[in-house]
Amino acid sequence: MQRLHLVFGGELVDPQRTEFRDTSQIHYVGIYPNYETAYGAWKAEAQRTVDSAHTRYFIAHLHRLRDEETPVSPTEELGA
């Protein structure tokens, strides 16, 4: 199975939560074929925006969305 990863981010309402201030302004960095490449893209964006306390970037494991038989961990559920 191909393991696709989406890197995205933007300004959060509160840096302690994962709610975006404006979902129309979410920055889609890209989709990557493996975690290592996605991590590199995530790290570059996180470092680029280090001075903005409300800006966060995330890696979504798209391949897990396609495989409904694989259980998700608590850290992957929104709001966990």
Q: If pLDDT is split at 50, 70 and 90, which confidence band does 79 have?
A: very low
Are 12 and 63 a contacting pair, CB within 8 Å?
no
Q: For the chain, which residues make up each domain, given as ranges?
A: 5-76
Q: Which amino acid is residue 20, in one-letter code? A: F
78 pLDDT tier (thresholds 50, 70, 90): very low
Q: What are 41-66's pLDDT values in tens digits?
A: 999 999 999 999 999 999 999 877 76
The reported pLDDT for the residue numbered 63 is 78
Supply the pTM of this predicted model: 0.77
CATH of 5-76, one of 3.20.20.70, 3.50.30.30, 3.50.20.10, 3.30.70.2400: 3.30.70.2400
Arithmetic mean of pLDDT, 13-24: 94
